[in-house]
Structure 1
Amino acid sequence: MVQEYKSSDLDLFDKIDTSNPKDVFLKNKSKNQLMPDNHKSFNYSKKEILKFKNLEDSLTETKSRKEPQDFFNQIDIDDYSSFKNMYPHNINTNLNRKKLSVKRHVNEDGSYPSIDIHQNSKEKTEIFQGIYSEPKFLPGGDKYLLIEFGNVMNLELNFKAQGLSKLIEVANIKGIYETLPCFASMIVHYNPDDISYQDLVKELKLILQDMKENDDVVVTSRLFHFPTVYLDKWTKEAIEDYSTKIKQKQSDPEFIVELNNLDNVDHFVRVHSGTEYWVASLGFWPGLPFTMPLDPRCKLTAPKYNPPRTWTPKGTVGMGGSSTAIYPDRLPGGYQIFGRTPVPIWDPEKRFDVFKDSICLFRPGDRIKFNPCSYEEFEMIEKKIEDQSYKYDLIEDQKFSINKYKKWLKGLDYKKKF
């Protein structure tokens, strides 16, 4: 049905005279009376007029500034053939490319960095180094404090965040409700009535000093084994639906193979499933783990969808940047997808004992091992989940030493091909 204007509406529009401020206060036709004239005159002091003038000048100056320069455009993202050789499995430092490598400018969560070209050279140097010499403390409203350890995603920074979170719990500082470690930062939720922002920063700096003196951090970690159908029919359907309805794109596994200079999709499966994955943080949906490979030889990288998908199958395994995630439910998403697991990672009904303390399966510091499985095994596990007889394959509460992990890294054979 087409909406038509009533004649009274048209009369109303005709009677508006914006050149006369008093006519902006329209007549109320139902009451047939003029609304009160609130357009009163005010006398401002010279000091107030000067403040208005300075504000006007600052706004004019902001508008006249040039927009920050882009490091790359969308064509560079879509035409990845010029930068795919920069990925870990075929690094050649002598390559001479006309285009900038997108890997250099893609965050490991699959997003792109925001660089302010007006910053001074010292700040720019720090940006590209990635790890801050001293953590940054930033207020997050009146009840949260954000601590940044750097502006890149890597395990070293996440170890710091998780180590600090553990020590804060041990310190039992009055007023702190909880901490949430992430890849390169952590947020502290506190009660400002019990402890001020300034006092909280002082307490945290003392704990960080203790962390420096005690080089090793030991984190309690559980290891989960997840049966996973790689190159599955469900994610293939989601990719084809996206290509048909939203934007034509290459198959996600093939896209990852090309970006990382792997031999084929089978090689990709061997590399991706060849290591344990460290749960760095949880989000954007309850229980969704953001993970990083513990073996750097298995580190793969790929950008997110642009625009994202409208749906992703429950239990999908996907990758954005260098982070692998499991989708807890049927959700929108932007990670490149390539596998599916039947094992629930969040359970609001707490049907299984592993969820007795939380509806979310994982916690930061856990590890996940993706084990390739067949469709038959997938269906068998699904039936066990339906009748609640499934037993989670996990090793409870191991001690993960950061120092021992670093020593293990030094002994790796980087020539090994999975």
Structure 2
Amino acid sequence: MSVPSLPEKARCTYGGDEFLFVEIDEAMSLAANVRAMTIARGLQEQRPEGLLEICPANASLLLRVDPDVLDPRQLETLVRELEEQARQAVGTPLPTRIVEVPVWYQDPYTDAVVKRFREGYHQDPSGTDLDYAAAVNGLSGPEEFIRRHHEQPWLVTMVGFVAGLPFMFQLVDQEKQLQVPKYLSPRPSSTPQLTVGHGGCFGCIYSVEGAGGYQMFGLAAGPIFDPSQQAADLKESMIFFRPGDIVKFRPVDEEEYRLLQQQVEAGTFTYRTAAAEFDPDAALTNGEAYNRVLLEALS
């Protein structure tokens, strides 16, 4: 995986007296995302009084302060210190977890929505989203695209847009990145909850039913957002995914999906997870060989 060079310093701008926006780079890259996550974790550990919110994104952070307690210019000074520490700590592994996500690819529920929103919404009304995704990536068909989609792990680069929705970047060489344009016009409704989608180079899992413009490939089996916190994996937080999580999709058939749904309804479903140390340098230099080592934690 090629190693991009980042700007010497992040660009910091202010939003009134409450917000500090920290832009690591204009383009998303693994290196930029790791830098953003490292700064965010440093802020979380130090948590100066008056820092209200830390919102890491793909290649940036948005920070909100109480200006009566913390001057955003003081916060920028701390961000610069953490940025320098992150630059010097290149190669330091980040503690994370690996999450196996069962997915029913080519399910009838997302397929029905795909068929409903073709004319006027999609670039190629004649086929399915998987047909289109395979074609624009030069692959033989949906089966090869699905294999490429679940074969290598994904890094959760940010969580947001709607509550609990994870954006994910696949840990592969740039020339192997799956890239698929979003719909020409967003679907105004009906995207099923837990739809596994894709737009640009990012994958996602829709945390709630609603509008959406990402291509749809299947349904994830387990809950990722539960305001009632009844799900077994969401007792501590209503949002399951965290930036820095590593996701490994696992294809399941209809029979296994139905069994997993019974567990979800009974409140007994839990994700298969494993604690791990993510080494960004190894991911950048050794690519898929490092992925195999990383995923051994799930064995």
TM-score (norm 1): 0.64
Query: What does residue 273 of structure 2 align with?
Result: 394
CA contact (8 A) 1:289 1:325 kept: yes
Q: Greater strand share, 1 or 2? A: 2
- After superposition, the CA RMSD in angstroms is 2.2
Residues in 2 aligned to 1:410 and 1:343: alpha-carbon distance in whole angstroms: 27
Per the TM alignment, residue 189 of structure 1 is displaced from its structure 2 partner at its CA by 1.7
Asked if 1:307 corresponds to 2:185, the answer is yes
Match of 2:146, SS state, is helix
Aligned partner of 1:347 among 226, 230, 244: 226
Per the TM alignment, residue 327 of structure 1 is displaced from its structure 2 partner at its CA by 0.8
Match of 1:354, SS state, is helix
The percent identity for this pair of structures is 27
Per the TM alignment, residue 252 of structure 1 is displaced from its structure 2 partner at its CA by 0.8
Name structure 2 gaps, 5 residues minimum. Answer: 291-299
1:72-91 to 2 correspondence within 5 Å? none
Which letter maps to 1:371? R
Query: What does residue 297 of structure 2 align with?
Result: none
Which letter maps to 1:366? D
Residues in 1 aligned to 2:247 and 2:67: alpha-carbon distance in whole angstroms: 37
Query: What does residue 385 of structure 1 align with?
Result: 264
Per the TM alignment, residue 379 of structure 1 is displaced from its structure 2 partner at its CA by 0.7
Query: What does residue 212 of structure 2 align with?
Result: 333
Aligned partner of 2:58 among 183, 194, 197: 183
Which structure has the larger Rg over C-alpha atoms? 1
CA contact (8 A) 2:58 2:157 kept: yes
CA shift in 2, pair 1:135/1:276, >3 Å = same
Query: What does residue 292 of structure 1 align with?
Result: 169
Query: What does residue 88 of structure 2 align with?
Result: 213
CA contact (8 A) 2:154 2:171 kept: yes
Per the TM alignment, residue 130 of structure 1 is displaced from its structure 2 partner at its CA by 8.8
CA contact (8 A) 2:56 2:62 kept: yes
Aligned partner of 1:237 among 85, 106, 112: 112
Per the TM alignment, residue 399 of structure 1 is displaced from its structure 2 partner at its CA by 2.1
Asked if 1:278 corresponds to 2:185, the answer is no
Asked if 1:152 corresponds to 2:27, the answer is yes
Match of 1:405, SS state, is helix
TM-score (norm 2): 0.88
CA contact (8 A) 1:345 1:361 kept: yes
Residues in 2 aligned to 1:319 and 1:160: alpha-carbon distance in whole angstroms: 24
Query: What does residue 295 of structure 2 align with?
Result: none
Segment of structure 1 superposing worse, 326-335 or 240-249 = 240-249
CA contact (8 A) 2:164 2:224 kept: yes
CA contact (8 A) 1:276 1:367 kept: yes
CA contact (8 A) 2:171 2:287 kept: no
CA shift in 2, pair 1:246/1:167, >3 Å = closer
Per the TM alignment, residue 349 of structure 1 is displaced from its structure 2 partner at its CA by 1.4
Asked if 1:172 corresponds to 2:47, the answer is yes
Which letter maps to 2:191? T
Aligned residues: 284
Query: What does residue 67 of structure 1 align with?
Result: none
Aligned partner of 1:317 among 196, 213, 237: 196
Post-superposition Cα deviations, 1:42-63, rounded to whole Å, max 9, x if no partner, equal xxxxxxxxxxxxxxxxxxxxxx
Name structure 1 gaps, 5 residues minimum. Answer: 1-128, 413-418
Residues in 2 aligned to 1:404 and 1:130: alpha-carbon distance in whole angstroms: 16
Query: What does residue 142 of structure 2 align with?
Result: 265
Residues in 2 aligned to 1:333 and 1:185: alpha-carbon distance in whole angstroms: 23
Query: What does residue 367 of structure 1 align with?
Result: 246
Post-superposition Cα deviations, 1:265-296, rounded to whole Å, max 9, x if no partner, equal 11111101111111110121111100001123
CA shift in 2, pair 1:355/1:404, >3 Å = same
Post-superposition Cα deviations, 1:327-357, rounded to whole Å, max 9, x if no partner, equal 1121110001111122111111111332122
Which letter maps to 1:306? L
Which letter maps to 1:278? L
